[in-house]
Structure formats: structure tokens, C-alpha cells
Amino acid sequence: MRRAVIAGNWKMHKTQAETRAFFDRFRPLVAGAQHCEIVIAPPFTSLTAAVESSRGTAIAIGAQDVHWETQGAFTGEVSAGMLVEAGCRYVIIGHSERRQHFGETDEWVLRKTRAALAAGLVPIVCVGETLPQRETGQTEAVLERQFRLGLAALTVEEFSRIILAYEPVWAIGTGRTATPELAAEAHRFLREQAAEKFGRTASGALRILYGGSVKPENIGGLMAQPEIDGVLVGGASLEAESFAAIVNF
Ligand code: PEP
């Protein structure tokens, strides 16, 4: 049985004060939620506020990115060990906005994933096709390439500790959600990739989240798909009420 994960990616939103205010509202709304892991990924500067505000609850905190080196001359970067010390348990890796705007490659995704695992973090590794890629029938080729270059070099033990997020780029922040069936089809394809590389036991245990305009109105349909093990939520995770409604789907 795969435990559901409901994760919120705040992107470049919320100061420390706004983070504390969010948690004051959010905590009581999800106090009874035991059916899933709840993860919130604030910007680096609000991580400590989020960790303090979630202490004593079942809400875990994640970062939105990590560098693969442990330390060094990498201006602007943060290491996995630093995230662990700040109280993070998860880290998002390879988000499409990092791939699109910051030149993140599949090779970087692999390095970052390994570094996160070595430090004891749970990587939430994002893959997904753009609209032109979907419209020209390249979805499976893109997912296969991202999986092969970004993840296939992990050991089975390492792979057993990651979470995969299928995030079609055309559905992120656009209000255009993939239908539950379409998302499930991509998840099945990714699970097949995992089975070929890591075997049936590892692929059967792999949690694959869907991300792309998830809202309280569509979470029920998505989670009704046995292939969808949870969601990665951007915009709708910024309001305590809407994110709590998704958590309590
Ligand atoms: C995301 O940023 O991972 C995301 C899925 O965003 P949104 O829910 O806003 O589409």
C-alpha cells in the first residue's frame, strides 16, 4: 500500500511573517489528517519559520531546490546538509520552472537527487512534457529520457527512497489540469520505466504524484485513480483553506 503524499510548492511566495500566518490557519484545519504525508516547500528564507511553525504536527517541510556539492564556491546555492540542519525532510528536484528558466538538466537532476539522498532527504523528482512535446506525440519519449538520464543510474536502494512527480508543463499554473485518465496513463508509463530499470518490487512501491493546476474541485477525481499516489500543488497551496481542502480530499 502506497501512502499518499500531498505536497505544496510555494515557489517564490511568502515572507517569514506570511509563513507563520499561514501555519496558524493551516494547522487546525489538517490536525485530523492521518491518511497522507503533508509536505510544504517554502522559499529558502522561510524554511526556518515553517519548521518552527510546524513543530509537533505531522506537517513536514521541504526545500524547492538543492545543490549537489556539500560546500564550496557556489554563490547563491544551498547544500543538502544545510537543508537537513534547517529542519527539511524533503526537497523538490528538477521542477519544470528550474528546467525552463534556470537551465536545469537531467544530469543535474541526477546529481542533486544523489546528494539529497546521501544527506537523508526525500527527493521529489519532477518530470513532464511541454505542450508542443505532447502535441507532437513526444510525451513518452520525453518522460523516458528524463527518467533514464535523471534517475536510472541510482541504485535500487536509492531509488526506493525517492518520490516521482509527473507534472505536465502545460498544466502548471495554467488552470488546465490533465484529466485523471491522462495523468494515470503517464503514471503507468513511468511505473513501467521504473519496473524495467529497478524491478517490480521497487516500481510497485514507488509513489508518483501528479502536479498541474490541482485544486479542491479536482482533487477527488485525481485521487480516485489508483495510479495517482498524491499531488504536488503550486497556486492552491498558498491559501490555508484551499490547501487543507486538498489535504482532506
Ligand atoms: C507546481 O508548481 O508544481 C504546480 C503544479 O503548480 P500549479 O499547481 O499552480 O499548477
Residue nearest atom 2 of ligand 1, based on CA coordinates? 234
DSSP sequence for 18-34: HHHHHHHHHHHHTTT--
The tens digit of pLDDT for each residue in 179-227 reads 999 999 999 999 999 999 999 999 999 999 999 999 999 999 999 999 9
The tens digit of pLDDT for each residue in 142-164 reads 999 999 999 999 999 999 999 99
Q: Which CATH superfamily is domain 4-247 in?
A: Aldolase class I (3.20.20.70)
Q: Is the pTM of this model over 0.95?
A: yes
What average pLDDT does the structure give for the chain?
97
The pLDDT value recorded for residue 175 is 87
Q: How confident is the model at residue 231 (pLDDT cuts 50, 70, 90)?
A: very high
Which among 59, 67, 57 is positioned nearest to 42, based on CA atoms? Answer: 59
Query: Which of the following is catalytic: 67, 95, 97, 187?
Result: 95
- Number of the ligand 1 atom closest to the C-alpha atom of 214: 8
Q: What percent of the chain has pLDDT over 90?
A: 97
Q: For residue 39, which phi and psi values (nearest 5 degrees)? A: -130, 135
Say yes or no to pLDDT of 39 above 90.
Answer: yes
CA of 72 to the centre of ligand 1 (A): 31
What is the pLDDT averaged over residues 30-36?
A: 93
Contact of 92 with 136, CB cutoff 8 Å = no
Q: H or E segment at 171?
A: none
What is the pLDDT averaged over residues 94-121?
A: 98
**What gap in Å lies between CA 173 and CA 168, rounded to an integer?**
11
Q: How confident is the model at residue 240 (pLDDT cuts 50, 70, 90)?
A: very high
Q: How confident is the model at residue 1 (pLDDT cuts 50, 70, 90)?
A: confident
Best residue among 40, 214, 228 to mutate for probing ligand 1, ranked by most atoms within 8 Å of CB? 214
The pLDDT value recorded for residue 238 is 98
Which among 164, 172, 168 is positioned nearest to 235, based on CA atoms? Answer: 172
Q: How confident is the model at residue 68 (pLDDT cuts 50, 70, 90)?
A: very high
- Domain edges within the chain: 4-247
Best residue among 6, 90, 131, 233 to mutate for probing ligand 1, ranked by most atoms within 8 Å of CB? 233
CA of 169 to the centre of ligand 1 (A): 9
The pLDDT value recorded for residue 195 is 98
